[in-house]
Structure formats: structure tokens, C-alpha cells
Amino acid sequence: MYENYSAAVQAILKKDKIEIGQRIAVQKDSESYEGFLMPKSSGDANCLVLKLDNGYNIGIDIKGAKIKKLHEKRYVGNIKRELPKFDKNKPRVSLITTGGTITSRVDYKTGAVVSLMKPEELLYNVPELANIVNLDIISPFTKMSEDMAPDDWQKIAKIAATELNKDNKGVIITHGTDTLHFTSAALSFMLPNLTKPVVLVGAQRSSDRGSADTSMNLICSAYAAISDIAEVGICMHGSTNDDYCFFTRGTKVRKMHTSRRDAFRPINDLPIAKILPSGNIEIMNYYKKRSDGAVRADTAFEEKVALVKAYPGSDPDYLKFFVDNKYKGIVVEGTGLGHVPTSSKKSWIPAIKAAIKSGIPVVITSQTLYGRVNPNVYTNLRILFDTGAIPGEDMLPETAYIKLGWVLGHTKKPEEIRRLMLTNLVGEISERTDMRTFLN
């Protein structure tokens, strides 16, 4: 099992009875490291490969290193191999699994992250869930979130509506984190007359890792799903500690860090609630209250919408690509209050005019993410919005992209598209922005 490690490394590991997959501490020079000993696939045979809690593998030359075993058993061996015993008297909630890290584990043979054999294995280590909810598990497909596409949002929305219309309290959807906020925005528009909670949840670390976030995220999600918050939202770690989750509106949230557990942050909004793993819910913002009535999935969506970035040196001709390829809408990530190059040799104004003239609505958002597009302050903004481009208000570029696809799925009339894009439908546009929402 030590193959590809040098004889020197193997001797040390054998002497201390350290096996692949076990948690060890390594002291080297003035640095100390803690993580899981990984198998060696290639590279310097004298280097120990350690998976750190932040997800990175590092190689540490064995020379001069002090090694200490921290767990006797392989960490993966600590995971319970049975489902929580659900109680029919607890509130019924549907759990829809779609893939992602939350239904993955580290393969300690290869060091790669692989899908669980059965998605419901994600519950093995969370017996507490049985004290909160009676879960119905539905596993329509397994995809990493970078591979999600609009037709997946449609599938999920339809399944969620079907489940919500059963005699249950709410729905939890497990999902990869990379594009979780795209899906949460899509479901917000596709489930417009929601009467129960739809809680999206993922994990930044697979569940067999020391710093796994799956358990607390799932527990808080279960409390969100039986709460009276009838909104689509994302429920993930609010801080780097295991102290609380934020439940944040699906149109006002974004993955803001590649790897931190508290990567999902509200943008131009406060979280709807802070949810403690004790079940305590602290409301922080307005929300739609739980009510009666069937939920309808309204999934018509125009896929031919583009999201493009304007920046110094950017070529306006590439808007032509979208016009030539019969796109139906374009969302621009402008700079600052919504600018695009205007008075320079690479002005975007003629290309935007041409797109609008050929019937393609153009929505302007800001790459600053925080704040609000303003069509008035500067002359160049007036020139831009005189083309008929639609200001995206304080919508995230991602949210505006999804909203435009959804709106175009429902109407092709320019005035109606404009009206809908400027109207707050499901919380995507705030009338005012609370000062506390910046970098929260």
C-alpha cells in the first residue's frame, strides 16, 4: 500500500504503523502540517503527500521531518455506514440529490474525489437529521455542478414542484457548489408562487474530511425546510466555524471563494436568516411566509442568452458572434455603474445598438458585483442607455443572465422584456441597499 514511496519513507511509516488515509501531523523546519496521508501516484518518492484540511495536497520532503499519527483508524473508517432511523411522526421533507461534492468522498487509494455509491450515503454521518425531519430521498441524476445546464434547472424545478405538492413541509436539494447560485436563481424564477421552503445545500469539503461541512449544512437545511420561510435559498456555513449557517435568497447569493466553507455570501442583500445547528432561527431580512396552495413549476427558458464582460481592450466585435449565432439576449458585465468602452476606438456602443436593432435585448450589470447600475450619473452612461440597453439595477450578473433567459422563455416583446427586467419578481431587485450588505 506504500507503493511509489521510497524505501526511506516506507521504513518510517512502517515503524510508526502509519497507514495511507490516516491523519498525521508533520513537523518540518519551523512549519507544522496536519492532514491525511495520501497514496503516491508520481513525483519525488521521498516526499510525503498530505491532504490538508483546506483541500490542497502538499508534498513534504521526509528529510528532517517529524511525523506523528493523530488517528489510529483511517478517517474514512469513522463514518457510520447506516442511514439515520427516520421517524414518520417528524415533519416530512423531500431530499433531492443532484450530485456534487456533498455526495462525494475522497478515494484514499487514488486521492481523487469520487461520487458516493448511493447518494443517500451522504446521510450516514448525520444521525441528528432523524430528530428533525422524516426524509424522502429522490436521486434523479448525479452531476458535478460545472456540468449543470438550463435543462437540469428545469428538471429540478419540476421535481421540486411535484414534491412540494405532496403532503410535506419543504424540499432540500443537494448540489455541487460551483454553480449552486446559478441553480438557486433559476429555481427562484421557475418556482414563482412558492408556498414552502426550497433549500439548496452543498459542501465545500467531502464528508469524510476532517473539516467537512456536510453535517452542519444538512442539519441547518433541515431546519430551514420546516421553517415558515417560503423562499428558494442557499443554506451553507455563515462563518469558518461550525457555529451557524446563513439561509440566503437564491437570487442574491454568490460563491465568493474557491474553497472556504463560508464561500456563499449574500450580495446586495442580507441573509434571510441565520440558522443554528440547534434549530434556532434568527430572522435577518424580509421573506415570503409559508402558506397554502399548490406550487407551479414555470420552467419556460430561452437558452440562447449570453453573459459577456466589458473591460479595457475588450473587443466589441465579439458581441457580433452572439448576433450572428442567433442569440436571443445578452447580459453585459460592465464596469462601475455599468460602463462599457464608449468614446474609444473599441467603443461597444455601435455593437450594442446593432444587437438591439436586430431584436436582441441587452441588459447591463456591473462586474463590481456589489452596488447598483445607474443609467444617469455620467454622460457615457446616458449614451449607453440611449441605445435602449436595460439597466440591471442591483442584480448580480449571474441573476440577470438567468432572469433574461426566463423572461425570454415567456415573451419576445421588447417592451414586455424591458418591463419584466426592471420589475422585481422574486427578490432579485432591491429597492434600496442596506449599508451592512457590503462584503458581509
- Establish if 2 lies at the interface with its own copies (CB under 8 A): no
Decide whether 4 or 57 has the Cβ nearer to its own copies: 57
Cell numbers found for residue 411: 415573451
Out of 312, 326, 415, 431, the only residue in the binding site for its own copies (CB under 8 A) is 312
Segment contacting its own copies by CB under 8 A, of 160-168, 272-280, 287-295, 335-343: 335-343
**Contact window for its own copies (CB under 8 A) among 212-220, 279-287, 366-374, 406-414:** 366-374
What is d(CA 252, CA 398) in angstroms, rounded to the nearest whole number?
10
Among 4, 32, 78, 259, binds its own copies (CB under 8 A): 259
For residues 78 and 259, which CB has a smaller minimum distance to its own copies in the complex? 259
Catalytic site includes residue 177: yes
Scan residues 93-112 and list those touching its own copies (CB under 8 A): 111-112
Q: Please tell me whether residue 119 binds its own copies under the rule CB under 8 A.
A: no
Would you give the binding string for its own copies spanning residues 383-402, x where CB under 8 A is met?
Answer: ---------------x--x-
Query: Pick from 135, 160, 232, 263: which binds its own copies (CB under 8 A)?
Result: 263
Q: Looking at the DSSP assignment, which residues form a beta bridge with residue 63?
A: none
Q: Which is nearer to its own copies, 119 or 197 (CB)?
A: 119
Residues 161-180 that bind its own copies (CB under 8 A): 177-179
From the list 40, 196, 255, 274, the catalytic residue is 255
Q: Which of 1, 282, 318, 419 binds its own copies (CB under 8 A)?
A: 318
Q: Which residues 6+ apart lie within 8 Å of 275 measured at CB? A: 220, 223, 224, 227, 235, 244, 245, 246, 247, 281, 282
DSSP state letter for 223 = H
The single residue of 107, 136, 178, 298 carrying the catalytic annotation is: 178
**Which 3 state secondary structure label does DSSP give 201?**
strand
- Choose between 154 and 285: whose C-beta lies nearer to its own copies: 154
Q: Does 378 bind its own copies (CB under 8 A)?
A: yes
Strand order in the sheet with 305-309: 305-309, 329-334, 362-366, 390-391
Q: Contact between 240 and its own copies (CB under 8 A)?
A: yes
Q: Is 341 in the site for its own copies (CB under 8 A)?
A: yes
Question: 97, 98, 101, 437: which one is catalytic?
Answer: 101
Q: How many residues bind its own copies (CB under 8 A)?
A: 84
- When asked if residue 211 is in the footprint of its own copies (CB under 8 A), the reply is no
- For 319, the grid coordinates are 458581441
CB of 265 to its own copies, least distance (A): 7
By residue count, the chain amounts to 440
Spatial distance between the Cα atoms of 337 and 343, rounded to a whole number of angstroms? 16
Element holding 232 (H helix, E strand): strand 232-237
In whole angstroms, what is the distance from residue 382 CA to residue 378 CA? 7
- What would the DSSP string read from start to end of 304-332? -EEEEE--TT--THHHHHHHHTT-SEEEE
Residue among 402, 400, 395, 424 at smallest CA distance from 269: 395
Site for its own copies in 25-54 (CB under 8 A): none
Residue numbers 272-311 binding its own copies by CB under 8 A = 303, 305-311
Q: Which of 131, 379, 423, 424 binds its own copies (CB under 8 A)?
A: 379
Single out the residue of 115, 97, 94 nearest to residue 175, CA to CA: 97
Name 310's Cβ contacts closer than 8 Å, sequence gap at least 6. Answer: 332, 333, 334, 335, 339, 340, 341, 348, 367
Consecutive H or E run containing 380? helix 379-385
User: In angstroms, rounded to a whole number, what is the distance separating the alpha carbons of residues 184 and 194?
Assistant: 13
Nearest residue (CB) to its own copies, 42 versus 89: 42
CA distance 167 to 170: 9
The answer to whether 377 contacts its own copies (rule: CB under 8 A) is yes
Whichever of 201 and 308 has its CB closer to its own copies, that residue is: 308
Point out the residues that are catalytic. 101, 177-178, 255
